[in-house]
Structure 1
Amino acid sequence: MALLQCQFSSATLEIQASMNVILPQGKAGPLPTLYLLHGLSDDHTAWCRQTSIERYASEKGIAVVMPAVNRSFYADMRHGARYWSFVSEELPELARSFFPLSPLREHNFAAGLSMGGYGAMKLGLSFPDRYAAVASLSGAMDVHRLAVDKFAGDMVNVFSDPSEIPGSAADLFGLAESVKGASAIPKLYQACGTEDFLYEDNIRFRDYCRSLELPLTYEEEPGTHEWGYWDRKIRRVLDWLPLAGNLS
């Protein structure tokens, strides 16, 4: 595998942006691609520093794109930059212009932890025609509750009014309902440790997706909000993705 640290100019963010990219060695493109998103306190280096994602991706022959989005909750922020537009529109186009990545839906996936789990689900449910599968690990599935109860300071910068989140384009529950019955629905994977502070939010989202009969794989086991858990589960995600050679 090749690990590239990439700094580039983002017209959307109006800054020099950063991403880490893992590319398979000895494999011709266009490559299947996983957009792997970081959590609230992390950056584009966190997945490589804290897990063995490079080794796991090498086993699967998949490219991995890891962008930096600061504490944006993958949103076009009220007080801040347009990180949702960056991740959902500009980043894939730029990454494909720099590297031999496939544009095909069946070759594109997203995953993330905590805030990044929310971002990955948001990508898949907002653009079901672009992603074949998305995965959330210990995801921040209910941003309305978090805006009110947990991260109120951050959310003031992100959203104009937390009371406007339910049913909006930022609400995973509303987005899940919007894809019910769609011709193209990505495979969904959700995992959360039973001792995680986000566990109850994950259970509510799981049950809601099941009520809508969405294609959700849900797994839980003892665990908290920590890298040992996410290292184990990202390997499981790569086994679960609909890649050639995977059985599940």
Structure 2
Amino acid sequence: MALIQCQFYSEVLGLSTSMNVILPQATRSQIGLEGKQGTGPHPTLYLLHGLSDDDSTWLRRTSIERYVASLGIAVVMPQVHRSFYTDMEQGAAYWTFISEELPTLARSFFPLSAKREGNFVAGLSMGGYGAFKLALRHPERFAAAASLSGVMDLHAARIDPVVQPMSPAEWRHIFGQDEIRGTDHDLLELLQRHTNLGTPLPQLYQCCGTEDFLYEGNQTFREACNRAGIPLTYEEGPGTHEWGYWDAKIQDVLAWLPIQEH
């Protein structure tokens, strides 16, 4: 595998930012690692970080580079700070960055697939929210999306003092004073819109530990999918909000992804 750390200027954000990228490499000479590389633009997984993390976290706390070596896919891990993948009320336009600018820039730097069937998104916690936000707001761009212990009911997270990961001041800094329910920030609202329209959605995977403080919100999203008849691969079991759980589950996600030979 080739691991590349990119520092670049974002026109959307108006500042320098970074991403880490894993690219497929055909190799058999690295001990314990057999790489695979196709001939065309690489299928790509956009792998999103959580609230307290950055673009290096998946590399530092899991073996993601080793896990994807035999799959022939690229992994793009961007930096969005504590933005909740949102065009912030008082701050930078991270939603526009992640949904519009990043894919274009990444494909200009590296041979990455632009086809729907060659693009996937996944993330943990805040990144699980971001992954489903991308999939539900742009279902035409992704073949599959996965949330690991995601913030699936943002409205409930805002008002629950146990779940709430941010102070009221930081929440206003990101989202402003407006209600979340029924807006483009609300995954449950986005799900309902697609149900009403009959929109073809990406394949969806969701998991959460039963001892996780976000478990109830994950149940809410799962039940909404069931009521709407939307296919969802759902897994739960013992686990809290920690990296041992995510290191194990990202391997399940990779095995589940509908990666096509290219």
AA partner of residue 208 (structure 1): A
Find out whether 1:111 has 2:131 as its counterpart. no
RMSD after superposition = 1.1
User: Which protein has the larger Cα radius of gyration, Structure 1 or Structure 2?
Assistant: 2
Amino acid in structure 2 at the alignment position of 1:11? E
Query: In the alignment, which of 65, 68, 78 is matched to residue 67 of structure 1?
Result: 78
**TM-score (norm. length: structure 1):** 0.96
Query: Are 2:228 and 1:212 aligned?
Result: yes
Contact kept, 8 Å, 2:118 with 2:260, in 1: the verdict is no
Match in the other structure for 1:86: 97
Query: 2:246 pairs with 211, 215, 230, which one?
Result: 230
Q: Does 1:169 align with 2:180?
A: no
**Cα shift readout 1:135-176 (whole Å, capped 9, x = no counterpart):** 00000111112222312333111111252x111100000111
Tell me, in whole angstroms, the C-alpha distance in 1 between the residues paired with 2:228 and 2:41.
34
**1:59-84 Cα distance to aligned partner (Å, 9 max, x none):** 21110000000000000000110000
- Does residue 244 (structure 1) correspond to residue 244 (structure 2)? The answer is no
What CA deviation, in whole Å up to 9, does each residue of 1:167-203 have, x standing for no partner? 1100000111122253421000000000000000000
Which position in structure 1 is the counterpart of 2:20? Answer: 20
Secondary structure at the aligned position of 2:135 is classed as: helix
Instruction: Work out whether residues 149 and 209 of structure 2, in 8 Å CA contact, stay in contact via their aligned partners in 1.
Output: yes
Q: Distance in 2 between matches of 1:170 and 1:29?
A: 35
- What is the rounded CA distance, in whole Å, between the counterparts of 1:51 and 1:220 in structure 2? 20
Equivalent residue for 2:146?
135
Partner SS for 2:50: coil
Cα offset for 1:29? Answer: 3.1
Amino acid at match of 1:43: D
Equivalent residues of 1:110, 1:133 under 8 A apart: yes
Match of 2:40 in 1: 29
Per mean C-alpha deviation after superposition, the further-off stretch among 55-64 and 81-90 is 55-64
- Trace 1:164-203 onto structure 2 (pairs within 5 A): 165-180=180-195, 181-203=197-219
Listed as ranges, the gaps of 5+ residues in structure 1 are: none
**Residue 76 of structure 1 corresponds to which residue in structure 2?**
87
